[in-house]
């Protein structure tokens, strides 16, 4: 009855952990014989993060005899040979993410398909000469630019390799979730019930929500989400450079309207990610190809946003630094110029930020964009998701090796604490950077100019980033 439910919810709010033991619609009583199939883990959402989660668990030694299901609304995505043209959706993969993909055998496939390592990142301000360069001293790769389709194809292959443990349901959308009552009432099923669009039902000991920033799992679990729509959209495209070059630098310039980034795909091609106002984004999509290319080159090369005040102040600061620390200012490289854009490759999507107040509840965990959504300016989005996977898989592996209940909140909280500690500061910093760089007001420009120059000159801070 609803009064009983309300009372139960009220009680649940009082105890700090009790608040996590949701009193949702009561799971129907079933005899063991007619019960829907029971999985140890169900991952809802078969994008890069959901697929990687299933693949990593499937390759974990302590999950050798467990049953995992992956639910993906779309069709199976795989190809043996990359198409000639590049996809316009690419990701910057950090070395840590590469390690995770290597651990489940997917990185080899990525290397065999297509990827571009980069050695250097140059980030600078349109309103001043301030610049920061990220570079690894030891000639290792800083990161890799990989098409999302390539990552998906690699993960699909590795899911096939553990098909005896991981069952993938393509073209399957979950339409309803039923949460178990707190564990000490032992009449009803203790598992999460999942209902698919085609009427099939599954039960699971742990539901992992990897269903993106509009996560249904998160909504159904009634987890509060702090979300904010930026007044920006990102325009993506595949570009061809004027001349072939080593192209192992990732470029990002902060314009007043938003950051524009050029990510290397090959010696002659780069991927564009241009975050700008919705109106400007629509204009960019609508204009002819020549004007589009001109806008991009102008964005990277023009100095029209400089003011004498800022330039002078910036120059003074730079010479001050070079007195204190002779090697503190790096050589400024010039970004490549763009010759043409791949037809049909222009697209735009709106940007926002989001952070779930909880990553876990009894028998539920959120990973990837379902838990946190960031602005692409930091190139972090999917890497945060892969970091979530590494952490959650580590804790689930230990839990399995201890014979404990995979959905137990006590163990899931360890994952939440570790990841929130890592993610919150990065998401907040990204948000602050986005706002800081969205202005031409002199004091703020000076602040960020000096900040950027100082950061560039100070090795310890740079390494931490």
Nearest distance in Å: CB 68, other proteins: 12
Residue number, 64 or 435, with CB nearest to other proteins: 64
Residue number, 23 or 296, with CB nearest to other proteins: 23
Residue number, 261 or 412, with CB nearest to other proteins: 412
Residue number, 24 or 328, with CB nearest to other proteins: 24
Nearest distance in Å: CB 11, other proteins: 12
Residue number, 15 or 163, with CB nearest to other proteins: 15
Nearest distance in Å: CB 403, other proteins: 3
Residue number, 26 or 219, with CB nearest to other proteins: 26
Residue number, 148 or 183, with CB nearest to other proteins: 183
Nearest distance in Å: CB 363, other proteins: 12
Nearest distance in Å: CB 69, other proteins: 16
Residue number, 63 or 144, with CB nearest to other proteins: 63
Nearest distance in Å: CB 41, other proteins: 14
Residue number, 78 or 405, with CB nearest to other proteins: 405
Residue number, 30 or 120, with CB nearest to other proteins: 30
Nearest distance in Å: CB 62, other proteins: 6
- Work out the number of other CB atoms within 10 angstroms of the CB of residue 447: 12
- Answer yes or no: are the C-beta atoms of 388 and 419 closer than 8 Å: yes
Nearest distance in Å: CB 56, other proteins: 8
**For residues 98 and 90, what is the distance between their CA atoms, to the nearest angstrom?**
15
Closest CA to 134 of 124, 152, 122, 146: 122
Residues at the contact surface with other proteins, assessed by CB under 8 A: 15, 17-18, 32, 38, 56, 59-66, 103-105, 182-184, 186, 189-191, 393-394, 397-398, 400-405, 408-410
Nearest distance in Å: CB 195, other proteins: 18
SS (H, E, C) the chain: CHHHHHHHHHHHHHCCCHHHCCCCCCCCCCCHHHCCCEEEEEEECCCHHHHHHHHHHHCCHHHCCCCEEEECCCCCCCCCCCCCCCCCCEEEECHHHHHHHHHCCHHHHHHHHCCEEECEEEEEECCCCCEEEEECCCCCCCEEEEEHHHHHHHHHHHHHHCCCCEEEECCCCEEEEECCCCCCCCCCCCCEEEEECCCCEEEEEEEEECCCCCCHHHHHCCCCEEEEEEEEEEEEEEEEECCCCCCCEEEEEEECCEEEEEEECCCCEEEEEEEEEHHHHHHHHHCCHHHHHHHHHHHHHCCCCCCHHHHHHHHHHHHHHHHHCHHHCCCCCCCCCEEEECCCCCEEEEEEEEEECCCEECCEEECHHHCEECCHHHCCHHHHHHHHHHHHHHHHHHHHHCCCCCCCHHHHHHHHHHHHHHHHHHHHHHHHHHHHCCCCCHHHHHHHHHHHHHHHHCHHHHHHC
Nearest distance in Å: CB 161, other proteins: 10
């Amino acid at each position: 009855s609803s009064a009983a439910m309300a009372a139960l919810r009220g009680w649940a709010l009082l105890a700090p952990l009790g608040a996590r033991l949701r009193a949702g619609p009561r799971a129907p009583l079933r005899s063991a014989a007619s019960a829907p199939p029971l999985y140890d883990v169900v991952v809802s959402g078969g994008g890069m993060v959901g697929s990687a989660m299933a693949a990593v668990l499937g390759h974990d030694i302590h999950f050798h005899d467990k049953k995992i299901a992956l639910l993906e609304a779309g069709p199976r995505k795989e190809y043996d040979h990359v198409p000639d043209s590049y996809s316009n959706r690419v990701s910057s993969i950090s070395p840590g993410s590469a390690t995770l993909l290597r651990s489940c055998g997917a990185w080899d496939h990525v290397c065999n398909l297509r990827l571009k390592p980069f050695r250097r990142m140059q980030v600078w301000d349109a309103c001043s000469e301030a610049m920061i360069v990220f570079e690894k001293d030891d000639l290792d790769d800083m990161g890799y630019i990989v098409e999302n389709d390539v990552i998906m194809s690699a993960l699909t292959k590795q899911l096939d390799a553990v098909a005896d443990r991981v069952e993938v349901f393509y073209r399957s959308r979950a339409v309803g979730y039923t949460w178990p009552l707190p564990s000490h009432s032992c009449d009803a099923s203790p598992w999460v019930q999942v209902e698919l669009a085609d009427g099939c039902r599954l039960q699971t000991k742990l539901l992992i929500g990897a269903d993106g920033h509009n996560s249904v799992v998160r909504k159904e679990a009634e987890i509060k989400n702090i979300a904010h729509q930026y007044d920006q959209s990102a325009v993506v495209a595949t570009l061809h450079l004027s001349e072939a070059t080593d192209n192992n630098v990732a470029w990002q310039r902060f314009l007043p309207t938003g950051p524009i980034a050029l990510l290397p795909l090959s010696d002659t091609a780069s991927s564009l990610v241009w975050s700008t106002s919705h109106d400007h984004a629509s204009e960019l999509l609508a204009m002819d190809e020549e004007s589009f290319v001109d806008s991009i080159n102008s964005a990277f090369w023009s100095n029209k946003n400089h003011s004498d005040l800022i330039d002078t102040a910036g120059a003074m600061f730079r010479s001050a630094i070079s007195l204190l620390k002779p090697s503190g200012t790096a050589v400024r490289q010039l970004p490549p110029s763009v010759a043409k854009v791949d037809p049909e490759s222009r697209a735009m999507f709106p940007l926002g930020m989001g952070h779930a107040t909880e990553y876990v509840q009894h028998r539920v965990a959120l990973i990837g964009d379902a838990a946190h959504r960031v602005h692409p300016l930091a190139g972090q989005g999917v890497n945060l998701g892969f970091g979530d996977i590494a952490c959650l898989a580590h804790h689930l592996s230990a839990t399995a090796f201890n014979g404990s209940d995979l959905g137990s909140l006590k163990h899931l909280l360890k994952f939440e604490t570790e990841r929130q500690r890592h993610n919150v500061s990065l998401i907040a910093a990204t948000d602050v950077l986005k706002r800081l760089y969205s202005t031409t007001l002199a004091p703020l420009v000076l602040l960020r100019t000096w900040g950027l120059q100082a950061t560039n000159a100070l090795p310890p801070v740079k390494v931490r980033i």
